[in-house]
Amino acid sequence: MNVQETEQQLGIGFCKRQPLVAERGEGALVWDAAGKKYLDFTSGWGVTCLGHAHPVMRNALSEQAAKLWQNPNSGFAYSPVRAQLLEELQNWLPAPAMRTFFVNSGAEANDAAIKLARKITGRCGIVSTSGGFHGRTFNTLTVSVNQSSAEGFLPLLPHNQFVRFGDPGELEAALGADTAALIVEPIQGEGGVQIPAADYLAQARALCKANGTLLIIDEIQTGFCRTGKPFAMQHENALIEPDFLTMAKGIAGGFPFAALAVSADVAKQINVGDHGGTYCGNPLGCAVALAVLRYLRAHNVAASVAEKGKWLGAALTELQQEFPQLIVQVRGRGLIWALQLADDDMVQRLTVASMASGLLVTPTRNGIVRILPSLLMSDDELELGVALLRKAFSRASVAVPSDNNTLDCGANELQIN
């Protein structure tokens, strides 16, 4: 069997696969098993922030692998590299005296935050926003997108409520005596790169505090320079101090790793045994995350992303003007962008046409294609990516996939020296 046949026959098909056997990557480029080259505008859903196989990550991983892979008795033992990462995070966290616990994924970080918020407040209710996405564990699934996402996994968790994203009036009406927490993204990722008004999080912070409700800010997709700031919440004029801050994806550049930070007040109310995990704070993950965060800070990547984002936003807006019948709206900030297409079928057609041109994009529900380049992508590579998108839209406007169940990328035409 070849790779595709093996995965189709032996794996569980939770998603529709693209006909791409990714063999290796370097920087912004990916090669398939046949040696075809692609420009990656996905970053693995925003994970590979330094691009593929960056030397600082490879070196950190190999050096730590020669020392220790897993702590004896896991979290019962102290760890030098974990302590270094905790110190490095103090340069990033938006509020003073925040305490951090490392976990394995963004969903796990959000799940723990919800669990702890209920325990600390003695309340059950969780308010989330329509269009939000916070993970696929049972706890996080029922506060993601909308409740129809969880209907197949009955019974639904009670006491959860959705409000419109960016609407402080609706949020105020939803907060009640039984509301433990509000969980919210500063910019909705899976929801289509939806950006609220500049004071939305400040208003949400004030409303939560007045109601005795804890604020969980989910920066899993937007954190660590993705939007041109260390965290997306920092685009607001006011200082936002969340009770819980969840982080993942770009924190370790592609190594499965995440973190949950809590305010000083919340930390005082967490007891031994309230949470834990076998691989939480794994030395390999800590070493890679430490290398990534040090690199991002030392090279002032946030400022670079802000500048690249201005150019990319202008270029995508020009693309919309060229294809107004296909592109309804362009939304984004830094290096996270959404192309709102005229209909959902066009997403499939554009994904196919992009692969044929040698470009990988992220198809998203509700007629959206997301653009999530590496934070280190060069100006030339960004310019090439937009040129390939232009070619893909020209193709997509006339081409229809031959099989709705199979993406046929056709001949690869990418030329990169």
Domains and CATH numbers, the chain: 3-54+300-396 (3.90.1150.10), 56-298 (3.40.640.10)
Task: Supply the DSSP symbol for 255.
Answer: B
In tens digits, what is the pLDDT along the chain, a chain of 417 residues?
587 766 676 666 666 667 777 789 999 999 998 999 999 999 999 999 999 999 999 999 999 999 999 999 888 889 999 999 999 999 999 988 899 999 999 999 999 999 999 999 999 999 999 999 988 887 888 888 755 566 666 666 678 899 999 999 999 999 999 999 999 999 999 999 999 999 999 999 999 999 999 999 999 999 999 999 999 999 998 899 999 999 999 999 999 999 999 999 999 999 988 888 889 999 999 999 999 999 999 999 999 999 999 999 999 999 999 999 999 999 999 999 999 999 999 999 999 999 999 999 999 989 999 999 999 999 999 999 999 999 999 988 775 444 443 434 444 555 554
How is residue 386 written in tokens? 């937009």
Please tell me which residue in 36, 229, 249, 308 is annotated as part of the active site: 249
41 has catalytic annotation: no
178 has catalytic annotation: no
133 has catalytic annotation: yes
Please tell me which residue in 32, 40, 111, 218 is annotated as part of the active site: 218
Closest CA to 287 of 97, 115, 58: 58
Closest CA to 355 of 130, 26, 30, 113: 30
Rounded distance between C-alpha atoms, residue 117 and residue 159, angstroms: 13
Please tell me which residue in 41, 133, 162, 165 is annotated as part of the active site: 133
pTM comes to 0.92
Rounded distance between C-alpha atoms, residue 35 and residue 249, angstroms: 27
Would you call 30 helix, strand, or coil by DSSP? strand
